[in-house]
Amino acid sequence: MPYRSDDEHGDTDVTLPTTVDAPTISLIVPCYTPDRIPDLTRLFDSITRQSTRLDELVVVVQQSGHLRDWVEDSLSRACVRTARLVYLDSTPQVSRARNAGVEACSGDVVAFVDDDAVLADDWVGTTRQFYMSNAQAIGTAGAILPYWDSPAMEWFPHELYWMVSCTYWTSTTPLVVRNGYGANMSFLREAFGDGRRFNEATGISGWGDSGWHGMGGEEPEFSLRVTAETSRAIFYVPTIRVWHRIGTHRLRPRSLIRRAFWEGRFKAWMSSTHGNASLDTEFSLLTDVASTAFRRLRLLVRHPFTAIRQQSIVALVILVVAIGYLDGRIRRRAPNPSNLRRGVSR
């Protein structure tokens, strides 16, 4: 089987010839904890089931030697043209892992999914077809559907799906958007030209039971630079689908509050760095949140507990995001410049 390992244990490379004309697709998967091995197993199974074979799979393992060994063994059986392992013996950080994957891959399209996602069987073919028929696109934001750990979690309001890294757009046709989410996004290789990379001063350091650690937002920050410097658009493509596992701990109040606060902090940094126009997506979402609140009045009659529960969590999240935003604006806290790599905002 095609396989490559890039770490201190050696470097071997065997690649099968490809008959795909264009574009070739490289899929990058960052991972950091052996706790996600069951999730990775589901992801690798979904890659094997693709109706069109994936050209290149790059798995970036951070810090965990046990996880590295498991991935190395799993990739030797991968049903892809080229499989590659990159090992980073450093503190887990998603932007750093994605940048390492970009450096290691060779596809015309560079795609990203989370290690707890599952691809639709036509994911490769649909991604390739979109780029072949949309020359104005520099990137895609694929649909990210929730894969709840329990059916009891399905009460969570759709307008807050972004809080659990799922997409909230309802369009059934391609739609120009500001950015995608790391659980299902891709870019043409041109997006990484001139040294453009994800800003390593942003991007979380992994999930814990209490919520995510650090300031996220690397996807919109990178996307704003890419679209501005290439004059090409990112499209939400609802037919490029993945299911993203949502653990029960992510709906705990403490976890939601932590993420909402850091989201607010990131919005403050974005507006001070890129201007208020960079938050047009958030202003549009607030309009949707308001209109959804009125539509929820009908649910209040039929299912009052669900309606009150949904509206209460929406109000709490918006309030905490606002607090985080004000905290960021007042304190003028910004990412540590010492963490920046080439390609960060200029």
The percentage of residues in the chain with a pLDDT greater than 70, rounded to a whole number, is 86
Per-residue pLDDT, 77: 83
Per-residue pLDDT, 344: 38
Per-residue pLDDT, 3: 38
Counting every residue, how long is the chain?
A: 346
Span 243-283, pLDDT tens digits: 999 999 999 999 999 999 999 999 998 898 888 888 999 99
Q: Are 97 and 34 in contact (CB under 8 A)?
A: no
Per-residue pLDDT, 107: 97
- The CATH topology of domain 3-250 is Spore Coat Polysaccharide Biosynthesis Protein SpsA; Chain A (3.90.550)
CB-based contacts of 26: which residues, under 8 Å, 6+ apart?
Answer: 55, 56, 57, 58, 105, 106, 107, 109, 110, 111
pTM above 0.75, yes or no: yes
Reported as a pLDDT band with limits 50, 70 and 90, residue 205 is low
What SS3 state is found at 66? Answer: helix
Structure-token match 């503190």, residue found: 91
> What distance in Å separates the CA atoms of residue 286 and residue 178, rounded to the nearest whole number?
16
Per-residue pLDDT, 165: 93
> What distance in Å separates the CA atoms of residue 179 and residue 262, rounded to the nearest whole number?
18
What SS3 state is found at 158? Answer: helix
Domain extent listing, the chain: 3-250
Encoded amino acid at 69, one letter: D
Q: Are 285 and 314 in contact (CB under 8 A)?
A: no
Q: Are 341 and 206 in contact (CB under 8 A)?
A: no
Structure-token match 């790059």, residue found: 58
**Between these two residues, 339 and 315, which has the higher pLDDT value?**
315
Q: Which tokens hold the place of 127? A: 């991604």
Packing angle, helices 253-274 and 304-331, rounded to 10: 40
Span 23-80, pLDDT tens digits: 999 999 999 999 999 999 999 999 999 999 999 999 999 999 999 999 999 998 888 8
Per-residue pLDDT, 297: 87
Residue 47: name the closest of 123, 148, 100, 99 by CA.
Answer: 123
CB-based contacts of 49: which residues, under 8 Å, 6+ apart?
Answer: 121
Q: Are 191 and 120 in contact (CB under 8 A)?
A: no
Cis peptide before 23 (omega within 30 of 0): yes
Mean pLDDT on 179-202: 93
CB-based contacts of 181: which residues, under 8 Å, 6+ apart?
Answer: 141, 144, 162, 165, 166, 167, 219
